[in-house]
Amino acid sequence: MLTKVKKLFGTDGVRGVANTDPLTAEMALKLGRAIAHVFKRDERRHRIVIGKDTRLSGYMLESAMVAGICSMGVDAVLIGPLPTPGVSYITRSLRADAGVMLSASHNTYEDNGIKFFSNEGHKLPDKLEEEMERIIFSGELDHIRPTATNIGKATRIEDAIGRYVEFVKNSFPKGMTLDGMKIVLDCANGAAYKVGPWVLRELGAEVIVYNDTPNGTNINSNCGALHPEIIRKGVIDHKADVGIALDGDGDRVIFADEEARVVDGDFILAICGIDMLKEGLLTNNAIVGTVMSNFGLEKVIKDAGGEFYRSQVGDRYVIEEMINQDACLGGEQSGHIIFRDYTTTGDGLISALQLLKIMRAHGKPLSKLCKVMEKMPQVLINVRVKEKKPLSEVPAVKEAIVQAEKKLGSKGRILVRYSGTEPIARVMVEGSDQDEIDQVAMSVSDLLKKELGM
């Protein structure tokens, strides 16, 4: 699979090691100027919301972003640490012109990222990102210098957390509570460290919280959605009903059932999708997954009378396809789930509440709900690469993929793609024979290491 490599933007904004190109204070200032210019459509006063997660470098990038935005005559509204979907919500709620989230999601603290939202709370499409890149590298904004009262100002909203908590709770049925439910919650020392426990406790749950003491350097450090072993152990130790793990910016969620088995995004989509189909709540009977979604998910949705569509990897591509298909549910295996009736982007807490709602409504443990789907064997191998050279330009790898496709035939598939956020090539192989897909995946990944490995 060939992925276009842009100068700045990946699949989820601009990302890299903080204070190195492109995640420098200088570039953050330029991006601030660019986003202000793109969304400054008339002579009225404009506002852009800025949120962040708990990384040490967030202070540096936030200050630079504020300077860039204000230098273009646009006001900056700071809301502090809040999950990415919270920034999207506050942007819409304040009728701001755009939103900015400073986060590298599931990456460790050395990295950071800059994500942008439109006034409707959607991540920016490729064309708009490319326009921002063109503006930055052309230098066409260098002569735009508002002065005196035309310079923007920065203000801080103190109640953003409370506003977001109420927004999340409103996705849970009125009159239903989590009374009597014991939940283990891993906050990844990230942006949801306050709002996560707050939401669940206000709905009545007993919450055992892990990793809610961020110090600027411990975000995602052996915890959160990429390390479900924390909630698995917590469920056993505390005899909990369920474990919930969020990532650093709170836009994805992974569960552990009461028997400490991991429940990923494919299972969440299957459980919620089937339930919504039965209740007549699934618009056009459609669900959107990605090219990485397990075939078992596609099968169970189609067998139940639904339609299943696939998008590129990345929750912004999922939402674009959801809009195209007028679907209200979509997501990724990684735990980015979008309930479009409630929000415009992946939201770990809203997704968690939708699954907890089904557990509560049917009086069933999560392990029983998971029986709705049987996954096809799938293996995923990540290979760190020194460069993201187009795979079509690496003959040995290209040929290996062709041979793998022939070997798998109609009984399986292989997908090789670069991560949009890390120097990693991902090899995903799916099929009915576990030994065969293991062999195919290992063969292709070994070749990738030889040709492109670090």
In words, the CATH class of domain 9-158 is alpha beta
Three-state SS sequence of the chain: CCCCCCCCEECCEEEEECCCCCCCHHHHHHHHHHHHHHHCCCCCCCEEEEEECCCCCHHHHHHHHHHHHHHCCCEEEEEEECCHHHHHHHHHHCCCCEEEEECCCCCCCCEEEEEEEECCCCECCHHHHHHHHHHHHHCCCCCCCCCHHHCCCEEECCCHHHHHHHHHHCCCCCCCCCCCCEEEEECCCCCCCCHHHHHHHHCCCEEEEECCCCCCCCCCCCCCCCCCHHHHHHHHHHCCCEEEEECCCCCCEEEECCCCCEECHHHHHHHHHHHHHHHCCCHHHEEEEECCCCHHHHHHHHHCCCEEEEECCCHHHHHHHHHHHCCCEEECCCCCEEECCCCCCCCHHHHHHHHHHHHHHHCCCHHHHHHHCCCCCEEEEEEEECCCCCHHHCHHHHHHHHHHHHHHHHHEEEEEEECCCCCEEEEEEEECCHHHHHHHHHHHHHHHHHHHEC
Q: What mean pLDDT do residues 446-450 have?
A: 91
Percentage of residues of the chain with pLDDT beyond 70: 99
> What was the pLDDT predicted at 5?
39
What pLDDT score does 113 carry? 96
| pLDDT tens, residue by residue, 206-264 | 999 999 999 999 999 999 999 999 999 999 999 999 999 999 999 999 999 999 999 99
Average pLDDT over residues 418-446: 90
Is residue 183's pLDDT more than 50? yes
Q: 375-405: per-residue pLDDT in tens?
A: 999 999 999 999 898 888 999 999 999 999 9
pLDDT at position 132, please? 94
How much is the pLDDT for 285? Answer: 97
Within the chain, which residue ranges are assigned CATH 3.40.120.10?
Answer: 9-158, 163-260, 263-348
- In the chain, CATH 3.30.310.50 sits at 378-452
- Taking only the tens place, the pLDDT of each residue in 140-158 is 999 999 999 999 999 999 9
User: With bands split at pLDDT 50, 70 and 90, how would you rate the model's confidence at 300?
Assistant: very high
Can you tell me the mean pLDDT for 336-341?
A: 97
Give the per-residue pLDDT at 3: 38
Q: How confident is the model at residue 333 (pLDDT cuts 50, 70, 90)?
A: very high
Give the percent of the chain with pLDDT over 90. Answer: 86
pLDDT, greater one: 352 or 400: 352
In terms of average pLDDT, the best of 8-12, 297-301, 387-391 is 297-301
105 catalytic? Reply is yes
Tell me, what's the pLDDT at 42?
A: 83
Catalytic residue, chosen from 57, 88, 105, 118, is: 105
pLDDT reported for residue 423: 87
Per-residue confidence (pLDDT) for residue 435, from 0 to 100: 92
The mean per-residue pLDDT over the stretch 428-448 comes to: 92
Write out the CATH class of domain 163-260. Answer: alpha beta
Average pLDDT, the chain: 94
Output the CATH code of domain 378-452: 3.30.310.50
pLDDT band of 420, cuts 50, 70, 90: confident
Tens digits of residue pLDDT in 53-109: 999 999 999 999 999 999 999 999 999 999 999 999 999 999 999 999 999 999 999
pLDDT (mean) for 351-376: 97
Lowest-confidence segment of 189-193, 352-356, 370-374, 387-391 by average pLDDT: 387-391
What fold, for 263-348? Alpha-D-Glucose-1,6-Bisphosphate; Chain A, domain 3 (3.40.120)
Q: What is the pLDDT of residue 1?
A: 33
- pLDDT greater than 90 at residue 314: no
Residue 10's pLDDT band, with cuts at 50, 70 and 90, is confident
Instruction: Say whether pLDDT at 2 is over 80.
Output: no
Is the pLDDT assigned to residue 421 strictly greater than 80? Answer: no
Lowest pLDDT segment from 322-331, 365-374, 418-427:
418-427
